[in-house]
Amino acid sequence: MGVDRALELFEEMKRNNIEPDIHTYNIIITVCGNNKRLNKSLEIFEELKGKGLLSQYTYNTIMSMCCKNGELDQALKFFAEMQENGFKPDTISFNTIISAYVKTNQYDKATAFFQQALKNGIRPDIVMYSTMITVHGNNGQWLEASNIFTDLDKKGFVLNLIAYNSILSAAEKAGEVKVVGKLFNKMKGKGIVPDAITYGIVMSAYDKAGMIRDMLELVKDIKNNQITMNYIHYSLIIGAYYKNNSWGQVLNFFEMAVKDSVCKPNLGYDFKNNALNFHLDTVFNLPVNHSDHIEGVSRDLARALFKYHMERGKIKVGTTLIVGYRGSDTLKNLFINIIEEEYPNFSYNIPDTNLGIIELHPKSLT
């Protein structure tokens, strides 16, 4: 059922003098929030508040919807308001805020909120501890992340997929490829089935270590477990084969990615405008819940895409390379170097009106 139909039925109940209960209100708040209709969620929450039917669960629901829609400040206001109205934040309340801080890379605030939870007498669950493993991993604090994971095991927590993905990610970021391999095998030995996120983490660790054969085994494992390969998996395996000068395999995986509808058939090339766009959403069919901020592809994948289209005669005088202007200019600098060092017949221009593109021109003979 779509969000509009749910709202229609909700209003129909009220017109027919069927008073929705708090459970119905919570469902509608969630449906609207999950469909990027946060304003409607907030409106319904205020309606519920006016009826004096609020509960701890409702506050947790609206905070979750705020965080899901990128409104962390609003969620924090509700966190304070629920306490003012006599509702004590529980583990779910703290998990919601801590996770939101992590998603917005505010690791110090996530840690501070975790400490506040402990002071409030909250007993962290596996989700909260896993989030803190992620915090330490993203902060480059591998030892702290490892210690939390070890303590979880000692305390008798059932280590689930969330916990393993968190510690695998921390190990991958720390360059602990052997640890990644051991943990990956350990979780499978315990009967925990890896998901797409797990495979992406392990594949990234193997890529950094140049373990291309192990990456290929992961691809086979993914297929055997009937998991759909996503844009992260294809980015990593194509980039790895490009670095390994295995152009035939690069072409094979481009073909597979298009066939699986992960890559778009044009692989980032815009025929109408003679432009090669290196943003993820022009190369891949991204999931609907992907971040609104679209990043560029990896350096290795960008080089593979450039060569792929060059071989097909699409990269020529007049072609525009769309590399983006936010962040560290990684792709812009990469292609400036490629043009200057590998393609002496090309010159380039970066227009003042758009610093995120490189225009290719013929090299002047003067």
289, part of any domain: yes
59, part of any domain: yes
Provide the terminal-to-terminal Cα distance of the chain, rounded to the nearest Å.
67
Beta strand 275-277 pairing with 320-322: parallel
The whole-angstrom separation of Cα 205 and Cα 213 is: 13
280, part of any domain: yes
Asked if residue 292 has pLDDT above 60, the reply is no
283, part of any domain: yes
What pLDDT, on the 0 to 100 scale, is given for residue 282?
95
Q: What pTM was estimated for this model as a whole?
A: 0.88
Mean local confidence (pLDDT), 62-73: 96
Asked if residue 78 has pLDDT above 70, the reply is yes
What pLDDT, on the 0 to 100 scale, is given for residue 203?
98
The DSSP line for 318-352 is: T-EEE--SSTT-HHHHHHHHHHHHH-TTEEEE--T
Residue that finishes a domain, picked among 74, 100, 126: 100
Mean local confidence (pLDDT), 338-347: 89
Residues 206-254 have pLDDT tens digits of: 999 999 999 999 999 999 999 999 999 999 999 999 999 999 999 999 9
How many CB atoms are located within 10 Å of the residue 141 CB? 17
Please check whether residue 134 is in contact with residue 163, taking contact to mean a CB–CB distance below 8 angstroms: no
147, part of any domain: no
What pLDDT, on the 0 to 100 scale, is given for residue 345?
86
Residue that finishes a domain, picked among 80, 100, 120: 100
Number of separate domains in the chain: 2
Please check whether residue 294 is in contact with residue 287, taking contact to mean a CB–CB distance below 8 angstroms: no
Q: Please compute Rg for the chain using Cα positions.
A: 25
210, part of any domain: no
Determine what percent of the chain is predicted with pLDDT higher than 90. 79
The closest alpha carbon to 76, from 96, 92, 54, belongs to 96
Tokens standing for residue 225: 């477990």
Residues 352-361 have pLDDT tens digits of: 888 899 999 9
CA neighbours closer than 13 Å in the CB half-sphere of residue 225: 18
Asked if residue 171 has pLDDT above 90, the reply is yes
Asked if residue 56 has pLDDT above 50, the reply is yes
348 vs 4, which has greater pLDDT? 348
Asked if residue 289 has pLDDT above 70, the reply is no
Host domain of residue 7:
1-100
Residue that finishes a domain, picked among 69, 100, 131: 100
pLDDT-derived band at 364, boundaries 50, 70, 90: low
Pick from 16-20, 287-291, 295-299, 300-304 the range whose average pLDDT is largest.
300-304
11, part of any domain: yes
For position 334, which CATH number holds? 3.30.1370
What pLDDT, on the 0 to 100 scale, is given for residue 365?
46
305 vs 22, which has greater pLDDT? 305
272, part of any domain: yes
For position 63, which CATH number holds? 1.25.40.10
